[in-house]
Amino acid sequence: MIMWELILKIFSVYLSSMLKFIFGPVGGLAAGLNIFVTMVVTIAGMMTVVVVLAYFGAFIRRRILVRFFSKRKQKKELREPSPWRERAKRYGVAGVAFLTPIILTPIGGTLVAIGMGSTRQKIITYMLMSAGFWSFILTLAVYFGADALVQLAKEFSEIWSIKSQ
């Protein structure tokens, strides 16, 4: 029974990090997982989304999205390029991959990288490097930052209880 509980905890962290990267470290701490397990599972969750979209994104666009959105006529208006698009072009896939875990979701970052016309290998490589870097940083921040915040709250509560007496 205990093994199933651990597997379910890991699986919930895995699924949550597929949706939003920061949910992995936070969920790992809440579930009581080891810090290294949390890092690896968070990376695995993000990279699952990246690989699936990198390899099956065109299929999804052709088969599924066309059915729902083909009736709309595409209006091609000449618009000023947005500042986000200009930044994305300047920094390329590496910049998008770097910002994906902290600003975008794994799904959104991968779709932006695919939309830039980059190769699958390049997208997967940069996203893996970014996931490894941010998993290390965010997991350490969540695990040790949460302890520091709890300690700080205890100290403040002691100070306030002394002043109120």
Q: Angle CA(40)–CA(137)–CA(132) in degrees, nearest 5?
A: 40
Q: How many C-beta neighbours within 10 Å does residue 27 have?
A: 23
Q: What is the pLDDT of residues 18-53, one digit of tens each?
A: 999 999 999 999 999 999 999 999 999 999 999 999
The alpha carbon of residue 96 and the mean position of all alpha carbons in its chain are separated, in whole angstroms, by: 12
Identity at 42, one-letter amino acid code: T
Question: Nearest CA to 139 among 26, 49, 17?
Answer: 26
Q: What is the SS3 assignment for 110? A: helix
Question: Nearest CA to 50 among 10, 21, 80, 28?
Answer: 21
Q: What is the mean pLDDT of each run of 10 residues along the chain (165 residues)?
A: 88 94 93 94 96 85 65 57 69 89 90 85 95 95 84 80 64
Question: Nearest CA to 13 among 128, 140, 139, 124?
Answer: 139
Check if the beta carbon of residue 13 is closer than 8 Å to that of residue 28: yes
Q: What pLDDT, on the 0 to 100 scale, is given for residue 113?
A: 86
Q: What pLDDT, on the 0 to 100 scale, is given for residue 65?
A: 60
Distance, in Å, from the CA atom of 154 to the CA atom of 24, rounded to the nearest integer, reads 26
Q: Is the dihedral of CA 4, 5, 8, 14 positive or negative?
A: negative
Q: Could you tell me the residue ranges of all domains in the chain?
A: 46-69+82-164
Q: What pLDDT, on the 0 to 100 scale, is given for residue 162?
A: 67
